[in-house]
């Protein structure tokens, strides 16, 4: 989904703040925590680009998704880990194939208040 802004040379790959940004805020997860947990050479610049909506490759979206799920599982109490439903990249990025704007987070009750 590339937005057209007028002239042909003004095609943009900026999709605005992503659902990933809101999820990280709700789970109280920092960019640094994602980078620390990831075993796939994820860096702070990639996380920041993802949050702000710069278009990413599927591979990088999936890398961020895995880091998010691992970080959440590490933070959850042991008794809640089985209840956690992993997020998919389509839940984190509004330009990902299969994204549903009406999707309801099944982990609502696990998110710290």
pLDDT per position as a tens digit, 64-94: 999 999 999 999 999 999 999 999 999 999 9
For residues 63 and 113, what is the distance between their CA atoms, to the nearest angstrom? Answer: 27
Spatial distance between the Cα atoms of 84 and 43, rounded to a whole number of angstroms = 25
Own/partner contacts of 77-80, CB < 8 Å, gap of 24 or more, are 80/110
Average pLDDT, the chain: 91
**In DSSP terms, which residues pair with 14 in a beta bridge?**
54
> What is the number of H-type helices and E-type strands within the chain?
5, 0
> 33 near 42, Cβ under 8 Å?
no
C-beta neighbour count of 53 within 10 angstroms: 19
pLDDT at 17: 95
pLDDT at 12 over 90: no
User: CA angle at residue 57 from 51 to 60, to 5 degrees?
Assistant: 65
């Amino acid at each position: 989904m590339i937005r057209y802004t007028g002239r042909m040379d003004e095609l943009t790959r900026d999709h605005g703040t992503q659902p990933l940004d809101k999820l990280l805020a709700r789970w109280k997860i920092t960019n640094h925590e994602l980078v620390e947990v990831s075993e796939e050479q994820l860096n702070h610049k990639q996380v920041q680009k993802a949050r702000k909506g710069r278009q990413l490759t599927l591979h990088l979206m999936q890398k961020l998704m895995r880091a998010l799920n691992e970080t959440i599982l590490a933070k959850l109490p042991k008794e809640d880990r089985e209840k956690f439903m992993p997020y998919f990249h389509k839940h984190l990025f509004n330009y990902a194939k299969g994204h549903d704007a009406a999707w309801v987070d099944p982990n609502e009750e696990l998110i710290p208040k």
